[in-house]
Amino acid sequence: MTTADIEPEGRHGALPPWLLRLGRLLLSLVFTLFGLLLVTFVIGRVVPIDPVLASVGDRASASAYHAVYLKLGLDKPVWEQFLIYVNQVLHGNLGESVLTSRPVLDDIRDVFPATLELSTVAILLGTLVGIPAGVWAAVRQGRLSDQIVRILGLVGYSAPIFWLGLLGLLLFYAKLGWVSGPGRIDIAYEFDVTRVTGLMLVDCALEGQWPAFWNAVSHIMLPASLLGYYSMAYISRMTRSFMLQELGQEYIITARVKGVSEARIVWVHALRNAAVPLVTVVALSYGGLLQGAVLTETVFAWPGLGMYLTNSLGSADMNAVLGATLVIGAAFVTLNLLSDVLYTFLDPRVRRRG
């Protein structure tokens, strides 16, 4: 994602280089977001579905049909429709969902916390397991444990997540009863918890509703572990390669000569240096989770952005589909940008170079 890397370095001596870099990143963000809009608009125009029909249903009268036709602006030329679209999006108007008859943005605001919660727990699990596993594999490079971590990672890359989810539900919920089923919380608790942040775990904790909290935990464990497994595969692999690089550096040899304990060398000296690129990796896989969430949420009836997207797809609710796509795209771009910025600020080498 670092386009700026290869571009000619700044000649504008007056400004600090990191500021220039930041400015360039922001500019590219704006440009990319505009491109996103163009893509979603184009997609929205080529649908072979009568958008009016999708909105009013099969049996509407001709006058009801025509009213919606005008309301959707379908009588205007295409470029005008695009300008209207951009203008609307800039004003936070993503159109109205046919399915819920509410503004798409309101819908997304409602469902987004569920996705955020799921992917945050997943990334936590993925990081907590993935980094130690990667360090371990690097230290024992070439040996059996390295191979095991590697194969487990590749297995994570290879299994269709919706399939693992189905089998997981069957095993851990239906047969063993270890975890709770689909959804975010049991219906019995659902109406006890008032929505403050939209994050179920946080809301339960804020109100001190501990039984509900633990129930929500037992709901999120399975989908989050599955999603986390995917990011674990990526994080452990990257950790391994960063650690291998660090462990081959001279300062490590120096430390060894000085008699520093091996554990300290690995966990303090080497890992601290590998941490900088790792932050980027974690941020990137956080973005990648948004994608995994689409399928996971469908399997686990998790009322987040992914399920909103597939629901809308099923009923050809294009405003909602494109709105959700846009939001996911924007979140993805922003996370990428964030990882770039973090990299700039955390790594003294990059900072100096500008």
Partner 1 sequence: MLTGVRLFATAALSALALATAVPVRAATPADTLVQAWAIDDMISLDPAEVYEISASEILGNAYQRLVTYDVKDVSKLSGQIAEGWTISADGKTLSFTIKPGQKFASGNPITAEDAVFSLTRAVKLDKTPAFILDQFGLTKDNVDQMIVQTGPMSLDFHMDKPYAPTFVLYCLTSTVGMIVDKKEVMSHEANGDFGYGWLKTHYAGSGPFKISQWKPNEAVVLERNPNYGGPAPSMARVIYRHVPEPATQRLLLQQGDIDIARNLSSDDIKALKTNPDIKLESGVKGTIYYMGLNQKNQYLAKPEVREAMKYLVDYATIADTIMGGLVKVHQTFEPEGFLGAYDKNPYALDIQKAKDLLKQAGLPDGFKVTMDTRNTPDITGQAQAIQQTMAQAGIQVELIPGDGKQTLTKYRARNHDIYIGVWGPDYQDPNSNAQGFASNPDNADTSQVKTLAWRNDWDIPDLTKQTDAALLEADPAKRAAMYQDLQQKALDTSPFIIMFQQVEVFGIRKNVDGVIIGPSFNDNGFYDVTKH
Partner 2 sequence: MTLIASREWLLTEQPASRGQARFGQAYRTWLALRGNRLAMVGLGITVVLILMAIFAGMLAPYDPVQGGDLRTERLLAPSWAHLMGTDDLARDILSRILYGSRITLLVVGLVAVIATPVGLFVGTIAGYFGGWVDTVLMRVTDIFLAFPQLVLALAFVAALGPGIENAIIAIAITSWPPYARLARAETLTIRDADHIAAIRLQGAHSARIIWGHVVPLCLSSVIVRVTLDMAGIILTAAGLGFLGLGAQPPQPEWGAMIAEGRQFIIDDWWVATMPGIAIFIVSLGFNFLGDGLRDVLDPKARK
When asked if residue 230 is in the footprint of partner 1 (CB under 8 A), the reply is no
State yes or no: residue 354 binds partner 1 (CB under 8 A).
no
The option from partner 1, partner 2, none interacting with 309 (CB < 5 to 8 A, set by class) reads partner 2
Tokens, residue 264: 């300290």
* Residue 295, token pair as written in the block: 């399928």
**d(C-alpha 137, C-alpha 266), whole Å:** 12
**Residue closer to partner 2 (CB basis): 215 or 236:** 236
- Residue choice 28, 145, 209, 218 for contact with partner 2 (CB under 8 A): 28
Q: Are 230 and 287 in contact (CB under 8 A)?
A: no
Report the distance separating Cα 264 and Cα 133, nearest Å.
Answer: 17
Nearer to partner 2, 200 or 284 (CB): 284
169 binds partner 1 (CB under 8 A): yes
Could you tell me which stretch among 69-77, 128-136, 305-313, 345-353 binds partner 2 (CB under 8 A)? 305-313
Q: What are 96's strand-pairing partners?
A: 103
Contact by Cβ (8 Å): 297, 304: yes
Considering only 16-24, 183-191, 214-222, 322-330, which stretch makes contact with partner 2 by CB under 8 A?
322-330
**Is 177 exposed, middle or buried, given 0-12, 13-18 or 19+ CB atoms closer than 10 A?**
exposed
- Per partner kind, with CB cut-offs from 5 to 8 A, the member of partner 1, partner 2, none near residue 160 is partner 2
Minimum distance between the CB of residue 102 and partner 1, rounded to whole angstroms?
Answer: 7
Nearest distance from residue 152's CB to partner 2, in Å?
12
Long-range (24+ apart) CB contacts under 8 A made by 263-270 are 266/135, 266/139, 267/135, 270/243, 270/246
The phi and psi torsions of 96 (rounded to 5 degrees) equal: -105, 140
Q: Does 6 bind partner 2 (CB under 8 A)?
A: yes
Computed over its alpha carbons, how large is the radius of gyration of the chain? 24
262 is a contact residue toward partner 1 (CB under 8 A): yes
As given in the structure block, the two tokens for residue 22 are: 């930041």
Beta carbon of residue 182, minimum distance to partner 1 (angstroms, whole number): 5
Interacting partner of 338 out of partner 2, partner 1, none (Cβ under 5 to 8 A depending on kind): none
Interaction of residue 176 with partner 2, rule CB under 8 A: no
DSSP conformation class of 231: H
Identify which of 310, 320, 325 has the alpha carbon closest to the alpha carbon of residue 54: 320
Instruction: Kindly state the smallest distance separating residue 188's Cβ from partner 1, in Å.
Output: 6
Comparing CA positions, the residue from 282, 232, 236 lying closest to residue 126 is: 232
Positions touching partner 2 (CB under 8 A) are 1, 3, 6, 28, 31-32, 35-36, 38-40, 43-44, 46-48, 141, 150-151, 154-155, 157-160, 162-163, 166-167, 170, 174, 241, 244, 248, 287-288, 290-291, 294-295, 298, 309-310, 313-314, 316, 318, 321-322, 325, 328-329, 332-333, 336
